[in-house]
Amino acid sequence: MSMATAQKNNLKFVDFCAGIGAGRLGLQNLGLSCVGFSEIDKYAERTYREFFGQEEKNHGDLMKINANDLPDFDLMIAGFPCQSFSVIGQRKGMDDHRGQIIYGLIKIMNAKNLPYFILENVKGLVNHEGGKTLKVILEELDKAGYKVYHRVLNSLDYGVPQMRERIYFVGIRKDLVNGNNFEWPKQVFPPDVQDYLIDDGEMEFNEKKRAYETFLKYLDNKYNKGLFKIEKLLKEDYLVLDTRQSDLRLYKNKVPTLRTGRHGVLYVRGGKFRRLSGFESLLLQGFPKNLSEKTKGKIADVYLLSQAGNAMTVSTIEAIGKSLLNYTNHYE
């Protein structure tokens, strides 16, 4: 699923708040070299190591990292913890220490005189506290010595059939600004969802499953009553059903935003309902099939679904990274 075709760079990066390594993979697809990672969740780290090997050092909590212990590198990739800014959280923002991870990142930027960074966060950051939180973050990055570009992008426009809006920040150290504007990647037409909903595992969802009765009651609640007939739903292959809200939502040729919790996405295949699997969630986040298959029989679905829901999208980071390399003349 790589969007890259050629590279001419030897740039190095460190993967902070690494999760399961989607940001890393996006940059590696462009030829950049990862020289370290930082992740505090032991379950995410386990999946990360299935993908990238067991020997690499995890630098752990970035708020406790001594920058002198890090190797030299050119670019930081990091996703803020989503808990502080997500619309499904308590929206504590900069008053929550998790929302202040940005200060730990800036400390490392300054200590390493870092040339570039790519940061990601939830879309809810844009309007948090009337835009105050975003304003503070941009001001702090500016004071740290960076020209910063930010934009909300949807993964659906960058190589996967998943609706996933996130805000991205691209930073260029001011002495490296070359007079040109950084250009965000152009949108591409989303691929066919049926190429992603391919798990042949035991994910069929029917009356034999304990939760099926709850599903039937859900279809009969005051929001859904009389609107949907199971027989009709089952006639449309690859129809996607989102049961995570009070009202059932249907999607064709795309999947709604994957989340860390509330894994209630179903789809129709071969006249049967199926649960979205962890393997399929990885594919929908841009992980290639051969890499995603490494988790089978090793990482439980409940963890993969949450980890994919908390991850960046590989193809989106790859597209942003390519645009940054074009700006810096490190890509052709």
3-state secondary structure 264-280: CEEEEECCEEEECCHHH
Q: Considering the domain boundaries, does residue 1 fall inside one? A: no
Largest interatomic CA distance in the chain: 63
Number of domains composing the chain = 2
pLDDT, position 329? 80
Residue 241's domain spans which residues? 193-307
pLDDT, position 331? 57
Q: What is the DSSP letter of 253?
A: S
> Looking at the structure, do residues 297 and 322 belong to the same domain, yes or no?
no
Strand residue runs (E) in the chain: 12-16, 33-37, 75-79, 116-122, 146-154, 165-173, 239-242, 249-252, 265-269, 272-275
Tell me the torsion sign for CA atoms 301, 90, 76, 321.
positive
> Looking at the structure, do residues 60 and 152 belong to the same domain, yes or no?
yes
Tell me the torsion sign for CA atoms 192, 196, 201, 207.
negative
Compute the distance between CA of residue 248 and CA of residue 225 in angstroms, rounded to an integer.
10
pLDDT, position 123? 93
pLDDT, position 7? 47
Q: Considering the domain boundaries, does residue 6 fall inside one? A: no
By CB neighbour count within 10 A (0-12 exposed, 13-18 middle, 19+ buried), where does 311 fall? Answer: buried
pLDDT, position 9? 67
Q: Considering the domain boundaries, does residue 5 fall inside one? A: no
Compute the distance between CA of residue 305 and CA of residue 313 in angstroms, rounded to an integer.
14
> Looking at the structure, do residues 165 and 242 belong to the same domain, yes or no?
no
> Looking at the structure, do residues 29 and 148 belong to the same domain, yes or no?
yes
CATH code, domain with 51: 3.40.50.150
pLDDT, position 4? 42
Cβ(299)–Cβ(47) under 8 Å? yes
Non-local CB neighbours of 248 within 8 Å, separated by 6+ positions: 218, 219, 223, 224, 227, 228, 241, 242
> Looking at the structure, do residues 129 and 278 belong to the same domain, yes or no?
no
> Looking at the structure, do residues 19 and 109 belong to the same domain, yes or no?
yes
pLDDT, position 332? 52
Cβ(279)–Cβ(295) under 8 Å? yes
pLDDT, position 95? 56
Q: Considering the domain boundaries, does residue 3 fall inside one? A: no
Q: Which two tokens stand for residue 46?
A: 């386990």
pLDDT, position 241? 98
> Looking at the structure, do residues 102 and 232 belong to the same domain, yes or no?
no
At 65, give phi and psi (nearest 5°): -75, 135
> Looking at the structure, do residues 226 and 261 belong to the same domain, yes or no?
yes
Q: Which residues are catalytic?
A: 82
pLDDT, position 161? 98
Q: Which two tokens stand for residue 30?
A: 């462009």
> Looking at the structure, do residues 103 and 178 belong to the same domain, yes or no?
yes
Q: Considering the domain boundaries, does residue 227 fall inside one? A: yes
Instruction: Quote the distance between the C-alpha of residue 306 and its chain's center.
Output: 11
> Looking at the structure, do residues 93 and 241 belong to the same domain, yes or no?
no
Specify the amino acid at residue 180: N
Q: Considering the domain boundaries, does residue 268 fall inside one? A: yes
> Looking at the structure, do residues 279 and 265 belong to the same domain, yes or no?
yes
> Looking at the structure, do residues 272 and 323 belong to the same domain, yes or no?
no
For β-strands 12-16 and 75-79, DSSP reports them as: parallel
By CB neighbour count within 10 A (0-12 exposed, 13-18 middle, 19+ buried), where does 158 fall? Answer: buried
Residues 190-204: tens digit of each pLDDT: 999 999 999 998 999
pLDDT, position 262? 77
Q: Considering the domain boundaries, does residue 7 fall inside one? A: no
Q: Considering the domain boundaries, does residue 299 fall inside one? A: yes
By CB neighbour count within 10 A (0-12 exposed, 13-18 middle, 19+ buried), where does 162 fall? Answer: buried
In this prediction, the residues of the chain whose per-residue pLDDT falls under 70 are: 1-9, 81-99, 330-332
Q: Which of 284, 267, 310, 279 is nearest to 160 (CA)?
A: 284
Cβ-based neighbour number of residue 270 at 10 Å: 8
